[in-house]
Structure 1
Amino acid sequence: MTNQAETNSKAQAEPTVARNAFGDVAPALADYTDRILFGEVWARPGLSPRERSLITVASLVALYRGNELPFHLGKALDNGVSRDELIELITHLAFYSGWPTASTALAVARQVFASRDA
């Protein structure tokens, strides 16, 4: 039987998106991202992972956060959001967050979709 320290040690050794992206320069932030954001916040009851993905993608598009968008578009697809729904979300946001945010998000979506089709 493993104890909590062994479980934590194994989890810390596994590469994650956060660890790969910035764990070398900010290991504490990578740990908080893995444990708190994805381990606790995304696991809370009240919203499904699909709903959380829609909210997150909409926020990233509206805030013009292109660096985080590819990961979260992929996560949205993994959580059951369709490509058509993502495109509709981006189209809808063009009227609220502006054409530059929407056109940038569409270019990112095109890349994410193409990488999934390859």
Structure 2
Amino acid sequence: MTRPAGEGLSDQERYDQGMTVRREVLSDAHVDRSIANTTEVTGDFQDFITRVAWGDVWSRPGLDRRSRSVAVLSSLIALGHHEELAMHLRAARRNGLTVDEITEVILQSAIYAGVPAANTAFRIASEVFADQP
């Protein structure tokens, strides 16, 4: 996929697009909490992730949101980013993955990321899914 011809989106359009996708994937409640907790130190970062992660990458047409969630879960498990895993497990459910599919992603990660990483991911997933209907 090449860069589109022309000027592309403005920063404001990227931010707006990113905020829409971010809210759809993570939920209004989560995004509202993040925005409410923004400080002078974190303000530029919030703007950056909204424009770039959500407005540019998550908005691309090359993968559907289910596939993006699989990629994110795999990456978070492999890199040990447990503080983000619970949030993205909930997002994966919002993006249409079933608990059984997520279980398969975690099991698959045991082979490539290691059993301890998968063990921790299963613990976090069990906690997240115990709180969801």
Kindly indicate whether residue 76 of structure 2 is the aligned counterpart of residue 66 of structure 1: no
What number of residue pairs does the alignment pair up? 107
Q: Aligned in 2, Cα 1:48/1:112: closer, same or farther, shift over 3 Å? A: same
1:23-34 matches, within 5 Å, as: 23-24=38-39, 25-34=41-50
Matched residue, 1:94:
110
Q: 1:62 is aligned with what amino acid? A: A
Residue identity over aligned pairs, in percent, reads: 37
Structure 2 residues not aligned, in runs of 5+: 1-11, 20-27
List alignment gaps of at least 5 residues for structure 1. none
Which structure has more relative contact order (CA 8 Å, sep 6+)? It is 2
Note if 1:76 corresponds to 2:96. no
Output the aligned Cα RMSD: 2.3
Q: Structure 2 matches for 1:35-46, cutoff 5 A? A: 35-46=51-62
State the TM-score, normalized to the length of structure 1: 0.80
The one-letter code sitting in structure 2 at the alignment partner of 1:108 is: I
Structure 1 distance, partners of 2:118, 2:36, is 28
